[in-house]
């Protein structure tokens, strides 16, 4: 039991240390109208605006050496595929933070893995004729194994703090792109 408790420390601290960020991105992205083509397109463009540069930062920082199964986790090509089918340009993207060192890389990867948890629910709202490769991406055990890696590789408080700081900077990318998405939506209604 003690081992299981210890194994939750890094993940719990990451969750608690980014809870305010999650609340904000959840509120922003939950506002998307996924049941309409235009709403879904905006959602995907906003996701891509943050996701593509964040994933690129992870790759430039060397995430493949930290997560041996990284090729199965990457999803930029799936968003790109959906956007292409929708006739949308790839967004130029946000300026991504630099992520160097195992703690920062794992903090960033934690943020990108989280949305997988709710993707199936979101996918059900999207009309069936629209492309949903990104929301359908299925990698069984992705969440369990990243939580295990966090707990194995982030063993001291300093490393966990570095992971939290990196995770917050990646959440901030999503917050900015989510804000742009809601501004566009409100302007359209007005």
* Residue 114 near ligand HEM by CB under 6 A: yes
Contacts of 91 (CB under 8 A, 6+ apart): 45, 48, 49, 52
Task: Please report how close the Cβ of residue 115 comes to ligand HEM at its closest, in angstroms.
Answer: 4
Toward ligand HEM, which CB reaches closer, 21 or 102? 21
- Binding residues with ligand HEM: total (CB under 6 A): 15
* Residue 117 near ligand HEM by CB under 6 A: yes
Contacts of 114 (CB under 8 A, 6+ apart): 22
The total of other beta-carbon atoms located within 10 Å of residue 2's CB is: 6
Toward ligand HEM, which CB reaches closer, 29 or 102? 29
CA dihedral 32, 36, 39, 41 (to 10 degrees): 130
Toward ligand HEM, which CB reaches closer, 29 or 134? 29
Eight-class DSSP state of 96: P
Toward ligand HEM, which CB reaches closer, 102 or 109? 109
Toward ligand HEM, which CB reaches closer, 40 or 174? 174
Burial class (CB in 10 A: 0-12, 13-18, 19+), 141: exposed
* Residue 26 near ligand HEM by CB under 6 A: yes
Task: Please report how close the Cβ of residue 171 comes to ligand HEM at its closest, in angstroms.
Answer: 6
Residues between 3 and 22 with contacts to ligand HEM, criterion CB under 6 A? 11, 15, 22
Start-end of H helices in 116-156: 116-123, 133-136, 142-153
Q: Could you list the residues that contact ligand HEM (CB under 6 A)?
A: 11, 15, 22, 25-26, 29-30, 110-111, 114-115, 117-118, 171, 174
């Amino acid at each position: 039991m003690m081992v299981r408790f210890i194994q939750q420390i890094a993940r719990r601290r990451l969750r608690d240390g980014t809870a305010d960020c999650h609340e904000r991105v959840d509120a922003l992205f939950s506002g998307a109208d996924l049941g309409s083509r235009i709403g879904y397109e905006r959602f995907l463009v906003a996701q891509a605006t943050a996701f593509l540069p964040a994933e690129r930062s992870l790759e430039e920082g060397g995430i493949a050496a930290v997560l041996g199964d990284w090729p199965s986790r990457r999803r930029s090509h799936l968003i790109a595929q959906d956007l292409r089918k929708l006739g949308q340009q790839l967004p130029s993207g946000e300026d991504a933070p630099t992520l160097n060192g195992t703690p920062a890389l794992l903090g960033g990867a934690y943020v990108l893995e989280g949305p997988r948890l709710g993707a199936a629910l979101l996918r059900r709202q999207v009309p069936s004729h629209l492309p949903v490769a990104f929301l359908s991406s299925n990698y069984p055990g992705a969440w369990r194994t990243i939580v295990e890696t966090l707990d194995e590789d982030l063993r001291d408080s300093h490393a966990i703090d570095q992971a939290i700081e990196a995770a917050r900077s990646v959440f901030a990318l999503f917050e900015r792109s989510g804000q742009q998405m809601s501004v566009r939506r409100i302007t359209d209604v007005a």
